[in-house]
Each structure stands twice: as C-alpha cells, then as structure tokens.
Amino acid sequence: MSTIERPSTLPATDDEWQARLSPAQYRVLRCHGTEHPGTSPLNFEKRTGYFHCAGCGQALFTSAAKFESGTGWPSFFTPIEEGAVATSVDRSLGMPRTEVHCSHCGGHLGHVFEDGPLPTGLRYCTNGDALRFVPVDDDDQE
C-alpha cells in the first residue's frame, strides 16, 4: 500500500485556490514564490512526523529525511517515496535549476540541489509555506 495520501478533489480555478490557501501559501504554491530565508517555523521542527503539501494534503517528506542545511529553508534528503514530488527545469534566474512540485496538485515546493548529505547527496530545499507538518503521536510510534 502506498504511503502517499492523495486527496480526491482539487480546486479547479485560481479563485478556488486563493480561497483555500493563505496569501503566503498561494504566492509560493501557485505563483512560484519564495519565502524569506529563516522565516519558517518548520526550520525548527524536530518532532517525528510527516510534511504534507499545504495545497492538497499529499504526504511529501518525513521528519527522518529532514536535516539542517544552514540555508534558512526546511531541507530534506529524499521524498517520502518515489512519485511524491515531480521536477521541472527552472530558468527564472538565468541559469537552470531543478524545481520541485507536489506531484498531485503541481504546487511549487522549492528546488533540489546536489549538495545534500548521504545517502542521496540531494537537498530538497523547500518553502515552509508550501508545507503542513503533521506530528506522529508518541503512542503511534510503537
């Protein structure tokens, strides 16, 4: 059974996305924005749990894959499973970068770089505004 949670319905229009998301979430997820570094409370999240897409709720990353990158954004070395995120080429800064999206709703999450820790060597540098953290209760971990 897949660990990815995929909600059944997504907003169909831009107005519906704006109604569903906060202004900061809308700017990041739907307009490819970037939050200021060091501003996300998720940078300091140390509990065990899952990081879901703030747009559609799909599970994207686990706390076990989170690491301190020193960049000012929540960083992960791998998605929760293959297919949780999708990538595309981003040339907005005049150089190619690999943009990361939620594979379910297409929401912009951030970028992936090849300067992360082992075992993958990858750094999924994500916007906290694109994520929703769901902690695992201590009783659920047994």
pTM: 0.89
**pLDDT tens track of the chain, all 142 residues?**
345 556 667 888 999 999 999 999 999 999 999 999 999 999 999 999 999 999 999 999 999 999 999 999 999 999 999 999 999 888 887 888 899 999 999 999 999 999 999 999 999 999 999 999 999 975 444 4
Terminal Cα distance for the chain, rounded? 20
Catalytic residue (one of 53, 56, 105, 125): 125
Closest CA to 37 of 121, 119, 111: 111
Active site residue 125: yes
Structural domains in the chain, CATH included, are 14-137 (2.170.150.20)
